[in-house]
Amino acid sequence: MIVTVTLNPALHVGYETEQVRLGGANLVRRVSYRTGGRGLTVARLLHTFGHDVVAAGLVGGASGETIRAELAQAGVATQFTWISGESRRVIEVAGPAGDFTTFYEPAPYITTEELGRLAADYRSLMADATAAVLSGSLPAGLPAETYGSLATYAAEAGVPVVLDAGGSALWHGVSRRPALVIPEPEDKDPEALIANGARAVAVLSGGRVSAITAEGRWSAELAGRRAASPRITPERSAVAADASRDALTAGFVPGIALGWSWPETLAHAVALAASSGPAGQVDLDAYERLLPEVRVNAQAMGGADPADPILLRHYDHSGYNVRLGAVAQTGGELERRPQRLPERLPEDPRVPYRGDETANVIGWADVAGWIRDHGVMLSGLVLIVAQLIWKSVFLNHYHLYQDDIHFSETRTIFTSPSWRSVIPLPGRT
């Protein structure tokens, strides 16, 4: 279960008007509502891809109830901590020419008692969580170290954290060693963030997304920035746009929770960002088309041979089925060759395949999952083997059925290591 935390959500109220006159009455033709807040958008996107996700955070009042109902209608599970104040609203007035006038309400004040209940609710969720996403701004009344405390609770439960924030809230959280940090542009200093505790940093720059760790750097972009659906324009394919930032965060989360490699994590994140809308909707067909077009580059890492083959898994949205492909790192770029594995390197005995042969990559996580899924069968096999051993040692036969009473003309009695005697059975001649 992935837990997303949104401490300052908003209810976006859209007004569509024929004209906007300041100081006069304006007729509203249509009213629309949608949830806002980075964590809530991330939860919707993760739910679309079939992940078990729970949206948590702080909500209150009629706006908070509308946020909860809207997420429930979309199928997203929620476990909010309720506050006495009213969740903020964002009023978006659309004029006839397509221009927008936006009004932002202030965030509610959070009391110490409400913060304590939030901490208790959050720690209970960590018991079953596989990853936690802490994203967005902090409302009034919350200290800057709030994200740091939540990251500590997750670390105590062994849950990796994705931190998407900025300012002092970001730097307090970084000191608690989150698995991934996605900073605001003004805090974009990967080396400083890693030095202060971040295990990885995602940096958005134009149409390129980079992942930086202490071991190396990877970057990805959509080749050609070509449109793939009516919603995807060349401008939208610039993955650093505000409307795609939440989608990028959602794209990174499965890689952190499931242990994907950085090339496949970046490919998924970039394709998802380029095929999603600002309200958390995603064009799954566009995602499928764009995923093979993502180009991933990597810098040589310490001790790594640039010619080493790297397996890249491709995930579709129908249950995350796996299709193996391969990429070869050459001159700093990863050349994608779907469904074809590279030639075996003679000097590298770690690659036991060659040519057009296909291979399955099995790790300890796969073995543990197989054992968990086939526990009953394994238990039966263990019982059979134990029965065979017991009968062969104590009964001198290997029958698998339960008839352990056998009649014989003679029986052998061992009374000494040096001799044996055969005694006729009573009543036999």
Supply the CATH number for residue 228's domain.
3.40.1190.20
Examine the domain organization and report whether 360 and 256 are in the same domain: yes
- For the chain, what is the largest distance between any 2 Cα atoms, rounded to a whole number of angstroms? 124
Examine the domain organization and report whether 250 and 139 are in the same domain: yes
pLDDT at 23: 83
Residue 58: inside a domain: yes
Look at residue 386 and give its three-state secondary structure: helix
pLDDT at 369: 63
User: What is the band of 397 on the pLDDT scale with cuts at 50, 70, 90?
Assistant: low
pLDDT at 225: 56
Residue 35: inside a domain: yes
- Considering the entire predicted model, what is its pTM? 0.67
- Nearest Cα neighbor of 102 from 205, 212, 12 is 12
54/46 Cα distance (integer angstroms)? 10
Look at residue 238 and give its three-state secondary structure: coil
pLDDT digits (tens, 9 = 90+) for 186-234: 887 889 999 999 999 998 877 789 999 988 899 998 876 543 333 443 3
Q: What is the dihedral of CA 176, 182, 185, 187, to 10 degrees?
A: 10
Examine the domain organization and report whether 354 and 265 are in the same domain: yes
**Mean pLDDT, to the nearest integer, of 340-356?**
36
pLDDT at 146: 95
- The number of domains in the chain is 2
User: What is the band of 181 on the pLDDT scale with cuts at 50, 70, 90?
Assistant: very high
> Do the Cβ atoms of 342 and 358 come closer than 8 Å?
no
Look at residue 404 and give its three-state secondary structure: coil
Residue 391: inside a domain: yes
Among 34-43, 182-191, 378-387, whose mean pLDDT is lowest?
378-387
Residue 403, domain extent: 371-424
pLDDT at 332: 37
**Mean pLDDT, to the nearest integer, of 95-102?**
81
343 DSSP 8-state letter? P
Examine the domain organization and report whether 394 and 261 are in the same domain: no
Other CB atoms closer than 10 Å to residue 25's CB: what's the count?
5
Examine the domain organization and report whether 201 and 111 are in the same domain: yes
Percent of the chain residues topping a pLDDT of 90: 45
Question: Which of 321, 338, 367 is the C-terminal boundary of a domain?
Answer: 367
- Cβ-Cβ contacts under 8 Å for 126 (sequence gap 6 or more): 3, 132, 153, 154, 156, 157, 159
pLDDT at 187: 80
What does pLDDT average to over the chain? 76
> Do the Cβ atoms of 334 and 327 come closer than 8 Å?
yes
Confidence check: pLDDT of 399 > 60: no
Q: Distances from the Cα of 49 to the Cαs of 43, 190, 302, 320, 321, in angstroms?
A: 10, 29, 35, 8, 11
129/54 Cα distance (integer angstroms)? 9
**Mean pLDDT, to the nearest integer, of 168-180?**
93
Examine the domain organization and report whether 228 and 375 are in the same domain: no
> Do the Cβ atoms of 62 and 85 come closer than 8 Å?
no
Residue 43: inside a domain: yes
Examine the domain organization and report whether 101 and 168 are in the same domain: yes
**Mean pLDDT, to the nearest integer, of 364-383?**
69
* HEC readout, 75-135: CCEEEEEECCCCCEEEEEEECCCCCEEEEECCCCCCCHHHHHHHHHHHHHHHCCCCEEEEE
Residue 251: inside a domain: yes
Confidence check: pLDDT of 50 > 70: yes
162/147 Cα distance (integer angstroms)? 11
Residue 213: inside a domain: yes
If one compares 177 and 316, the residue with the highest pLDDT of the two is: 177
Examine the domain organization and report whether 182 and 315 are in the same domain: yes
pLDDT digits (tens, 9 = 90+) for 413-429: 444 444 444 444 454 44
**Mean pLDDT, to the nearest integer, of 29-53?**
92
Examine the domain organization and report whether 319 and 388 are in the same domain: no
324/338 Cα distance (integer angstroms)? 7
Examine the domain organization and report whether 361 and 380 are in the same domain: no
Question: Which of 367, 391, 408 is the C-terminal boundary of a domain?
Answer: 367
User: What is the band of 392 on the pLDDT scale with cuts at 50, 70, 90?
Assistant: confident
Examine the domain organization and report whether 379 and 360 are in the same domain: no
Report DSSP letters for 168-236, one per residue: HHHHHHHTT--SEEEE-GGG--HHHHHHTT-SEEEEEETTEEEEEESS-EEEEEEGGG---STT--TTT
Confidence check: pLDDT of 99 > 90: no
pLDDT at 256: 94
> Do the Cβ atoms of 149 and 125 come closer than 8 Å?
no
62/68 Cα distance (integer angstroms)? 10
268/218 Cα distance (integer angstroms)? 13
Residue 252: inside a domain: yes
280 DSSP 8-state letter? S
pLDDT digits (tens, 9 = 90+) for 105-122: 999 999 999 999 999 999
Examine the domain organization and report whether 187 and 284 are in the same domain: yes
Residue 429: inside a domain: no
**Mean pLDDT, to the nearest integer, of 330-347?**
36
Confidence check: pLDDT of 249 > 60: yes
Beta-sheet pairing, 88-94 with 53-59: unpaired
